[in-house]
Amino acid sequence: MNTNRSFFGIACRVVALSFLMAGTASLLQAQQTQSVGSTLKAPLFLASESTSANPASYSIFSSSSSSSSDNALVSDSNGRFMLSSAALDSSQPPPRRRYGRPNYSDSHSNPDGSPKWTFLVGGGMAAPIGDTHVYQTPSYDFQFGGGRNFNKTIGVLLQFDYDHFGLQSATIANQEYIYNYCTPAQIALGCTATVAGLDGNNHVWSLTANPTFTLATEGSLGAYMVVGGGYYHKVTNFTLPQTQQACGIYGCGYYTVNANVDHYTSNAPGVNGGFGLTYKFSKFSNERFFVEGRYVFMANQNRPGVTAKNVSTAPLTATNFYPANSHRTTYIPITFGLRF
């Protein structure tokens, strides 16, 4: 009996000690969990805390400007608002912006704003100079072309030029003398003068490439220099008046035309160079009125032939009755027109 009582007392003590130890362990675990939670909790307000528990705390963010608050606050997957990395780095200065020259480059413009392509059309007067003036007289010219501008200063133009000239009265008189000349032997056979009313003209057409250098100016007035070279084709025609018949519903009639009776050609390389002025119609327009003068040199190769001085000794088989067409040619075209 006493043994049972002592065993029961020991069991009660063991159970009481077990409950005491279990309760102590539970309390320590709860305190440790609370301390860890408080350590990991973000130092920012939850949405519910910032609106209901402490409205003043939310006013800290809402008092800033709308743009800055939008960038400063972000929400995570749990609905909590946090400061963004941009807001945390707001103390750092923004990166410096680099500035440079504006770039206008596209399919029609160069980076400096100048048009990539240019065209011209014009006309004016062509005046022979030097030895050419001995045989020819001033007349008209026209030109057209286009090319590429590499920038506001440098460009290249491909041009077609047509320069027309008349013939000096002395040239016509000498040519009539040559055509009507008869040797004594021919006169004995009945040779007589048959050419009367002779006239003539001369022209040069060319295809050239011309680098153009625009000079720095201000306002509407501009200036440029041009040099170039290419292929030149020179032609001299001699004409005589001829009567021709034309018939219509009212009958036939007669009219007089100058028909070519002789012509000469010469092909040669040539160069040109000159100076021009331009005027812009408005500040923003690309169209410009221009006036320019050039010096043209055509490197013809002289070919011997019959002249008024040697016609008496020229062979009867001679065919070149105007060797002056193969003389070196120099002239100045003065042209007015439009560049655009």
Average pLDDT across each block of 10 residues of the chain; the chain has 340 residues. List them in order: 54 60 59 50 45 44 44 55 54 59 68 89 98 98 96 96 98 96 86 92 98 90 96 98 86 88 97 97 85 98 95 90 97 96
Whether residue 128 contacts residue 136, with contact meaning beta carbons closer than 8 Å, is answered with yes
- Given CA atoms 8, 14, 15, 17 in this order, what sign does their dihedral have? positive
Listed residue (75, 137, 150) closest to 109, CA to CA: 150
pTM above 0.85, yes or no: no
In the structure encoding, which two tokens stand for residue 322, read together? Answer: 């105007």
Residue type, 291: V
Are 201 and 171 in contact by the 8 Å Cβ rule? The answer is no
Q: How far apart are CA 335 and CA 292, in angstroms?
A: 5
- The pLDDT assigned to 189 comes to 84
Residue 147: phi and psi, rounded to 5, are: -175, -165
Beta strand 139-149 with 136-137 is unpaired
Which pLDDT belongs to residue 332? 98
Query: Residue 251 has what pLDDT?
Result: 83
| Greatest Cα-to-Cα distance within the chain, rounded to the nearest angstrom | 192
pLDDT given at position 23: 61
3-class SS at 258?
Answer: strand
